[in-house]
Chain A
Amino acid sequence: MSDDEKKKRSSTETARRIWLAGIGAYGRAFTEAQGALKEVTGKSSEVFDDLVQKGEMIEKVVEHKGRELLDKTKVVDIEVPALEIDERIKRMRARLSMGVSVGMSGTKGEGQSASVTERLDAIESKIETLSERLDALESSAPKASPKKTKPAKATTRRTKKPSAS
């Protein structure tokens, strides 16, 4: 390749060729490529071009495979009416502006971010668990129990979409 030809290449094209050569190098044993480069002093450009060519081929295969995977993903995607996300955005915006539930109330730090309702639920649940344990102790009847401390009752909720069907 002449110097003029080299100069004509834009920096982007050069970067692309280096990238492609890198991909091409994966196609052969690393030591083989290294050995070849040492042996063919003066012909390094040919080796480079060879790697570029390989890289281009691999790139095409990868692109094709990538598209295939993407298509597969798209096939199983669920069609959703556009309104649904709009509605959720509206609801989330309202919650955020009220400082509810996602730690937007100005209070910060561990345990301070949940809404009042959620925190009350958690406290209520703990009281319930403690009462149960107290009852069990008072009755002092040996009772088969799970191997660990009985966990608190479920208090969290899932954000459900408006139409759950």
Chain B
Amino acid sequence: MSERSKTKDKILRTALALFNNEGESQISSVDIASVMEISPGNLYYHYKGKDEIIVELFADFEEEIRQVLNSPIQKPLAVEDNWIYLYIIFEEIFDFRFFYKNQSDIIERNPGLRQAFAKILALKENTAFSLLSALEKEGHIKFLEGEKKALSTRIAQHFTFWLQYHDLRYGMAAPKSLIDAGVFATLVQITPYWTHAEGYAELLKDFVAKR
């Protein structure tokens, strides 16, 4: 990534926080300039509008989430690291929640993001497939033909729509504790395939005890 000026960096950080906390649709580039106490003209010098900021924020997110998602594909995780790893994924998404809550609108306005986001979705499926494969290889879970692929897709969907669902269901901003619920819901989807009842109980006990 090319070196960014301090001002550009500050614009991005401010915009991300405002989009996440107030809702992307509620924030204009004038608001961002106002919070930063710079003139709208100064902001315009660096970014020609809100969408240009969003595209750059997306590029940062893409780089980071790719690194996270690729890790278990390149090298399988230890079993006990799986749920911690899920926390990392959910936190990455939570930190970029303005996009996930309004993905259709943002992509419609910025068609260039469509393919990049589709690749992230494909990578999410591959990651889920790798996690499940590692657990299967070690005999922790067992699948019938086709189930592993279907579950991978289901988990990727859960990653993608978990925040949006919460907003639609409860009509309020998602609290950060929703990450707990997201990780738990992922595990619940995997556990029916768990081969050892005791192992499953241990896993959940460990998980729930820390909640």
Binding site for B on A (CB under 8 A): 12, 69-70, 72-73, 76-80, 82, 84-85, 88-89, 92-93, 96-97, 101-104, 106, 108-114, 145-148, 150-156, 158-159, 161, 165
Contact = CB atoms under 8 A, between A and B. Distances in A.
Q: Main SS of chain A's interface residues?
A: loop
B20 interface: yes
Interface residues of B, number: 49
Given A84-B71, A104-B210, A155-B17, A12 B35 contact: no
B71 A154 contact: no
A112 B74 CA distance: 37
B17 A78 contact: no
A154 B67 contact: no
Contacts of B75: 82
A80 B145 CA distance: 32
B109 interface: no
Q: Main SS of chain B's interface residues?
A: helix
Interface of B: 1, 13-14, 16-18, 20-22, 26-28, 30-31, 34-35, 63-64, 66-68, 70-75, 77, 81, 84-85, 87-88, 91-92, 95, 119, 122-123, 126, 145, 172, 175-177, 179-180, 210-211
B88 to A, nearest CB: 6
B17 A156 contact: yes
Given A12-B145, A146-B28, A70 B126 contact: yes
A155 B176 CA distance: 14
Given A110-B172, A151-B21, 19 more contacts: A77-B66, A79-B70, A80-B67, A80-B70, A80-B71, A84-B71, A89-B85, A97-B210, A102-B176, A103-B176, A103-B177, A104-B210, A111-B175, A146-B30, A146-B31, A148-B31, A158-B13, A158-B95, A161-B67
Contacts of A155: 17, 21
Contacts of A82: 71, 74-75
Contacts of B66: 77-78
Nearest to A103: B177
A150 B31 contact: yes
Nearest to A88: B88
A156 B95 contact: yes
B172 to A, nearest CB: 7
A151 B84 contact: no
Contacts of A72: 119
Nearest to B123: A73
